[in-house]
Amino acid sequence: MDFNHVTVMKRRAVDALSVKPDGVYADCTAGGGGHTAEILSRLNENGTVVAIDQDPDAVAALRERFAGEERVSVVQGNFSSIRQILGNLGLGRADGILADLGVSSHQLDTAERGFSFHAEAPLDMRMSKSGLSAYDVVNGYTEAQLTRVIFEYGEDHFAKSIARRICEERAKEPIADTLRLAEIIKTAIPARARREGGHPARRTFQAIRIETNRELELLPGAVREMFAMLSVGGVLAIITFHSLEDRIVKNEFRAFASGCTCPSYFPVCTCGKTPSGRVREKGAPPDPDELAENPRCRSARLRSIEKIRDETSVSGG
């Protein structure tokens, strides 16, 4: 199966994991397997990579790519279930965990998946091909819910008028395809704003995709689970693609690194919790060479954290 995706920060992200040749690694967003293959190239015969993706098409491509490779286990699932996924394979903690968030080029470029506003397709956008679809969001959410989604996840100033136009149009006939939705969004945006800042539907499509796949809702808990499943000395590396997910990862990492959970207005720490992680990469961008070759990586940021203590421990007592 052809799987078209150029791996972002391939060496850099895997360097961040400081791979041990006989270690256990999880690639939580394996996609076309670029990072998985890079990790594998640094393992000896005793090492293991668990390649996870929630998209059945990616999983089929991964099974084909790594057929006969005993050190790779391909699993279809959501990375928020990392604990269960590693447990089912009889693996304990991992020595390194990687997540390269968002959608793959394969998903974006496969018109019938409904992620793109450039190609006519049913409104779908489900990475896992199951559950709530973009059609359900666009046709089933109230105007207030749509405004919130488009404003929060698309950071679009015209969220209110886009949501209103969607509701007016769907009252005539359900909005079932991508190009009709893109056209409706266009008519909700003032002509002057349409000429600035890329395609007018870009932000709304991003917002609906994030909502459909519960990307930001699941992320904080998933980061905590991934960190919990690391061995001491292990590294969690995450590549983000927009400011909202990057902020979530930064805040979770900061909490592992500071340990203390006292409210900021407390004059002194009373919880006594000590750090369980040490932050390494703090939002590093791709190298200029990579940026020149692959414009889709321009918003990528790499963050990583090393686990220095098994659990947040309480001192004293």
Ligand X SMILES: C[S@@+](CC[C@H](N)C(=O)[O-])C[C@H]1O[C@@H](n2cnc3c(N)ncnc32)[C@H](O)[C@@H]1O
Q: Which residues contact ligand X by CB under 6 A?
A: 5, 7, 28-35, 52-55, 58, 78-79, 100, 102-104, 127
Residue 79 C-beta: closest distance to ligand X, Å: 4
Looking at the chain, list the stretches that DSSP marks H as alpha helix, in order from N- to C-terminal side.
10-16, 34-40, 56-65, 82-88, 105-109, 134-140, 143-154, 159-172, 178-187, 191-194, 202-212, 215-228, 243-258, 288-293
Rank residues 29 and 133 by Cβ distance to ligand X and give the closer one: 29
Rank residues 82 and 149 by Cβ distance to ligand X and give the closer one: 82
Residue 244 C-beta: closest distance to ligand X, Å: 14
> Residue 312, Cα to own-chain centre: how many angstroms?
25
* SS3 category, 111: helix
Residue 32 C-beta: closest distance to ligand X, Å: 3
> Residue 197, Cα to own-chain centre: how many angstroms?
24
Rank residues 52 and 159 by Cβ distance to ligand X and give the closer one: 52
Q: What is the dihedral of CA 132, 136, 137, 140, to 10 degrees?
A: -130
Describe the crossing of helices 178-187 and 202-212 by its angle, rounded to 10 degrees: 130
Rank residues 55 and 169 by Cβ distance to ligand X and give the closer one: 55
Residue 103 C-beta: closest distance to ligand X, Å: 6
Which residue shows structure tokens 């089933």? 140
Residue 158 C-beta: closest distance to ligand X, Å: 27
Rank residues 59 and 175 by Cβ distance to ligand X and give the closer one: 59
